[in-house]
Chain A
Amino acid sequence: MNVKTGLKTLALTSALAATPLMAADYVIDTQGAHAFVQFKISHLGYSYVLGRFNDFEGNFTWDKNNPEASSIEVNIDPASVDTNHAERDQHIRSDDFLDVSNYAQASFVSTGYEVTGEGEGVMTGDLTLMGETRSIEIDVEKVGEGEDPWGGYRVGFTGTTEIHLPDYGINFNLGPAAETVEMELVVEGVRQ
């Protein structure tokens, strides 16, 4: 082994050593709409209104052998709110609610993931909504992972959490039962 080959081997070995068993990067499949940011809010305490945000994008890291290392980052366009009613959506975009002309983006950036059971965990992270950043916890369940029929590799999760609207400065009175919004998230990622 000459010096040149030796150096080459050394460089390769250290490069491999410097790369621990890394979690894979996934892009949330918003392109194929296999991900949903849905919400559910009480109507007068008698029923519910369901809605969703149509425009968002994000990515996450995931390693089934090391789930605690998982992280996620999602950006949501609040103006894309859709409750299947034009005038209601216009009202939600107004300064009575999401004030989208002043707050054009909402985001969630994880700060930690705790495994609580087989395929279950709690994702902690910072939710920024209307310029207000607060730590929230999302209950996560893994749905499944594996190769898809088109040559890719996917993993999917569901998440649930609650958002107390006055915490973010939304004080329009929809009644006491409607101060808290239930969020239901479906996140499917394609491995990069």
Chain B
Amino acid sequence: MRVTTRLKNSSEQFGWISIGFHWLVALGALGLFPLGVYMVDLGYYDPGYQWYPDIHRSLGILLAGLLFLRLIWKLINPSPRLLVHSTWEKAAAKGGHLLLYLFLFTVLISGYLLSTADGRGIQVFNWFTLPALPGLAGRNEELAGWVHWYAALTLIIFAGLHALAALKHHFVDRNPTLKRMLGIKTEK
């Protein structure tokens, strides 16, 4: 087994930049979800009552930045061709990826709007403060909170389907869909 040495994508192979973006976003989303579920039930006197939400907000903003860079990279460096052949599978793959991006952005934007609903910015670690957008800080925390929770739940379900589809391509179709996202060299 050899790993690819590419940084940029080819028509067959993902390069390490796209691979890195993919797994960092996956790690971020899969980490922030349980952290969010956990932190909202903490007691007031729990030592992490302020700390966990601070981490959750900070990482969320960084993930949004990462996702933004990922999309730019995807525009200037297109993904390899799909390895599925039937029309419905191609449509499902494209639609599925589109929905994953859509729900990622929905979760991140609603989280930002929830935390900035009263006009206060978000302190990202001890690094910088992301200000609230004046026109959007309209005390809509209930709506933003509702969207944040249900979009996150939907995102996790889609991420699970995404993983199942990858396993299906690997074990059933026996194509290198999963391998090439792990950086394993599949092109001659």
Contacts and interface: CB of A to CB of B under 8 A. Distances in A.
B118 A85 contact: yes
Interface string A76-108: 000100001111011001000000000000000
A153 interface: no
Main secondary structure of the interface of B (DSSP, over half): loop
A86 B44 contact: no
Interface in B127-164: 139, 141-142, 145
B142 A84 contact: no
Interface residues of B, number: 13
B114 interface: yes
A86 B141 CA distance: 6
B95 interface: no
Interface in B21-52: 43-45
Interface in A150-192: 172-175
A110 B145 CA distance: 37
Given A90-B141, A90-B142, A90-B145, A173 B43 contact: yes
Contact of A93 (B44, B45, B142): B142
B61 interface: no
Interface extent on A, as a size class?
10 to 19
Contacts of B44: 172-175
A172 B116 CA distance: 25
Residue of A87, A89, A90, A173 contacting most chain B CB atoms (<10 Å): A87
Nearest to A91: B40
B43 A87 contact: no
A132 to B, nearest CB: 22
Contacts of A89: 141
A87 B115 contact: yes
B114 A87 contact: yes
Interface in A22-60: none
Contact of A175 (B45, B116, B120, B145): B45
Contacts of B142: 79, 90, 93
24 contacts: A79-B142, A85-B118, A85-B120, A86-B114, A86-B115, A86-B116, A86-B117, A86-B118, A86-B120, A86-B139, A87-B114, A87-B115, A87-B118, A87-B141, A90-B141, A90-B142, A90-B145, A93-B142, A173-B43, A173-B44, A173-B45, A174-B44, A175-B44, A175-B45
